[in-house]
């Protein structure tokens, strides 16, 4: 009968410094391994979503809009060109959401896997960053596929359309980091998903200047866009892809809002992970 070797007294094997510098990557590696199990489903979502949107909103509604506004276009361009950066950013947000919120609740509560990770040299902060990095990987994969579908539909008129890829990942990263910290704080998720889906995700998607310029909304509803990473990223995306007019000041504001959300989300989440694991 075999007995595993346990070299008592040999501390040579483990290189604690290596985990200190690469721990978050090890966590991300494990998360991506899990994601790969669902790769087919992730792939289907990443393809089906844009196909549905592009057919109904882009071609159906877009055709109607383009016909009625004439050559002036929406914001000076064809409706699909206007819409593309927003849809991409929304796809990135959904992707990072799925891969930060669910694994975080699962790790603390459903399976308690974070506690077993924390029994190794990994720290709470490393676990939190690792989960986040893996979520970015998912966002990148989703956005690339989405982009491919848009290209196939001829929705990417502008030669600089690819610049919407980094802005959408940026949106996903900012929102994902914030949502991860919310999930880390959550003790009871009973109502969370209902609230998240209906009162946060849905309004953000609808009122962030996604389908029409934010300025065409009544002023008292525009604040939703101002706090929405989707709006800020979409504005940047529109500027980069077809030269949508933004003042330099506003451009910095968009950038600063996204960076603030990202950095504060990451710091908060690392702290909450550490605190909750050390209880």
What residues make contact with other proteins under the rule CB under 8 A? 1-11, 13-20, 22-23, 26-27, 29-30, 33-34, 37, 111-113, 115-123, 277-279
Closest CB to other proteins among residues 2, 190: 2
Q: What are the backbone dihedrals phi and psi of residue 74, each rounded to the nearest 5 degrees, phi first?
A: -95, 120
CB of 276 to other proteins, least distance (A): 11
CB of 33 to other proteins, least distance (A): 6
CB of 189 to other proteins, least distance (A): 17
- DSSP 8-state secondary structure symbol assigned to residue 75: T
Structure tokens at 86: 């927003």
Closest CB to other proteins among residues 27, 143: 27
Partners of 77 in the beta sheet?
A: 74
- Cα separation, 202 vs 89, in Å, equals 14
Contact between 203 and 147 (Cβ < 8 Å): no
DSSP character string of 194-208: HHIIIIIIHHHHHSS
CB of 11 to other proteins, least distance (A): 6
CB of 18 to other proteins, least distance (A): 4
Helix count (H) and strand count (E) of the chain? 12, 0
Closest CB to other proteins among residues 36, 206: 36
Closest CB to other proteins among residues 5, 215: 5
Closest CB to other proteins among residues 20, 198: 20
Q: Helix or strand or coil: residue 74?
A: strand
What's the first-to-final CA gap in the chain, in angstroms?
A: 40
- Cα separation, 48 vs 38, in Å, equals 15
Closest CB to other proteins among residues 1, 72: 1
CB of 135 to other proteins, least distance (A): 15
Contact between 207 and 228 (Cβ < 8 Å): yes
């Amino acid at each position: 009968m075999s007995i595993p070797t346990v070299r008592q007294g040999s501390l040579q094997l483990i290189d604690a410094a290596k985990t200190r510098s690469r721990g978050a990557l090890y966590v991300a590696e494990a998360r991506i391994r899990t994601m790969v199990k669902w790769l087919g489903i992730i792939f289907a979502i990443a393809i089906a979503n844009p196909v549905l949107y592009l057919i109904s909103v882009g071609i159906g509604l877009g055709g109607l809009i383009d016909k009625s506004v004439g050559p002036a276009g929406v914001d000076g361009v064809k409706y699909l060109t206007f819409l593309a950066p927003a849809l991409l950013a929304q796809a990135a947000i959904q992707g990072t959401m799925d891969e930060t919120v669910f694994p975080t609740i699962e790790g603390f509560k459903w399976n308690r896997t974070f506690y077993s990770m924390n029994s190794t040299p990994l720290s709470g902060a490393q676990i939190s960053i690792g989960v986040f990095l893996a979520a970015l990987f998912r966002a990148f994969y989703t956005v690339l596929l989405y982009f491919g579908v848009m290209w196939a539909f001829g929705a990417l008129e502008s030669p600089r359309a690819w610049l919407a890829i980094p802005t959408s990942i940026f949106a996903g990263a900012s929102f994902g980091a914030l949502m991860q910290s919310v999930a880390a704080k959550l003790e009871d998720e009973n109502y969370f998903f209902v609230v998240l889906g209906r009162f946060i995700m849905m309004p953000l998607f609808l009122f962030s200047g996604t389908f029409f310029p934010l300025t065409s909304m009544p002023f008292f509803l525009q604040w939703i866009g101002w706090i929405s990473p989707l709006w800020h990223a979409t504005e940047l995306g529109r500027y980069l892809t077809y030269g949508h007019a933004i003042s330099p000041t506003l451009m910095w504001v968009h950038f600063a809002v996204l960076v603030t959300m990202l950095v504060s989300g990451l710091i908060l989440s690392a702290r909450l992970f550490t605190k909750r694991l050390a209880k």
